[in-house]
Amino acid sequence: MKKTDNFFLISSYNCNPGYLLEYCNNYIIYDRSDIDSFKDDISKLKNVVRVDNTGHSISDYFKFFIENYDTLPEYIVLLKSNIVGRHTTKEFFDRVYDNKYYTFLYEDNKNPIKYKKNVFFLHSESEYLEYNNSWYVRYHPHRYFIDYNDLLKFIYKQPHLPNYCLFAPGGCYIVSKHQIKKNSKEFYQNLNKLITYTILPKFPSEAHQIERMLHTIFSCNYEVNEYMNDSNSFDNELESFIIRKPPYLKMGKIEFIKKIVSKFI
């Protein structure tokens, strides 16, 4: 197995990522495991950072971007420790892990007949399209946003509101430092505030919204709202947004279901 000079940024939860180290020369592991046996095994590896289990794997990615913004590796492989077997086959991962270009690290070879019209389908073997109705929000706590489009508009000026979200389920990609640095350090710091306000048993719904937005964050040409690049301005705007949108914090289950269902009508 050829070891790549791509940098592996691994988010680990109750799964030993040791097998991934056979693929790379340089890496960091953010371990959020809560089972002692995994914590003990992972602690024996090098370059391990213990973190709270919040924000999905995305908060680990953003943490690394923020802390290493001026010295980012040329290519970074964003990984969950269980990617092989969960989000890709070993054969697929072996084929792409050394790519020196933007890559969706996801593979789905299911029978197309299993895909539901107007719900989800594949654009390619790795590019997953899901109907943009924020269905997942009702299963997770939310503090700020219960709608993907509202979050997108909060981040960007006049973005196109998509009928479908194009993303890699699991949030694993190969990205270049140039893609990351098209956004400021403060941009990632502010996004991280939206996804790290609670820990298990369930991740914030905003983390699942941003999971579906990662492709946009890395590749879009939208103009960013100014407050996304300043911590104090962001906090003030977020507070103002909450005041303007009280139903998003008080919406009952019936009202929420009606909002979601209305998107299919």
> What local confidence, expressed as pLDDT, does residue 61 receive?
98
Rounded Cα–Cα distance for residues 219 and 43 (Å):
35
Phi, psi of 42 (to 5 degrees): -70, -30
Closest CA to 7 of 105, 102, 77: 77
Rounded Cα–Cα distance for residues 218 and 90 (Å):
25
- pLDDT tens-digit readout, 128-155: 899 999 988 888 888 899 899 999 999 9
Helix and strand tally (H, E) in the chain? 12, 11
- pLDDT tens-digit readout, 22-38: 999 999 999 999 999 99
Rounded Cα–Cα distance for residues 80 and 143 (Å):
25
Q: Is residue 59 part of a domain?
A: yes
Phi, psi of 260 (to 5 degrees): -65, -45
Banded model confidence at residue 13, pLDDT cuts 50, 70, 90: very high
The DSSP annotation for 177-245 comes to HHHHTTS-HHHHHHHHHTT-S--TTS--HHHHHHHTTHHHHHH--PEEPGGGG-HHHHHHHHHHHHHH-
Q: Is residue 199 part of a domain?
A: yes
Q: Based on the structure, what is the number of domains in the chain?
A: 1
User: What average pLDDT score do residues 235-242 get?
Assistant: 91
List CB contacts of 125: < 8 A, sequence separation 6 or more.
Answer: 92, 107, 108, 109
End-to-end CA distance of the chain: 51
Q: Is residue 38 part of a domain?
A: yes
List strands edge to edge, sheet with 120-122.
120-122, 128-131, 164-167
Boundaries of domain holding 234: 7-262
Rounded Cα–Cα distance for residues 16 and 49 (Å):
14
3-class secondary structure, 257? helix
> What local confidence, expressed as pLDDT, does residue 206 receive?
93
Q: Is residue 1 part of a domain?
A: no
Q: Is residue 208 part of a domain?
A: yes
Q: Is the pLDDT of residue 110 over 80?
A: no
The DSSP annotation for 61-107 comes to HHHHHHHTGGG--SEEEEEETTHHHHTB-HHHHHHHTT-SS-EE---
Q: Is residue 2 part of a domain?
A: no
Q: Is residue 64 part of a domain?
A: yes
Q: Is residue 144 part of a domain?
A: yes
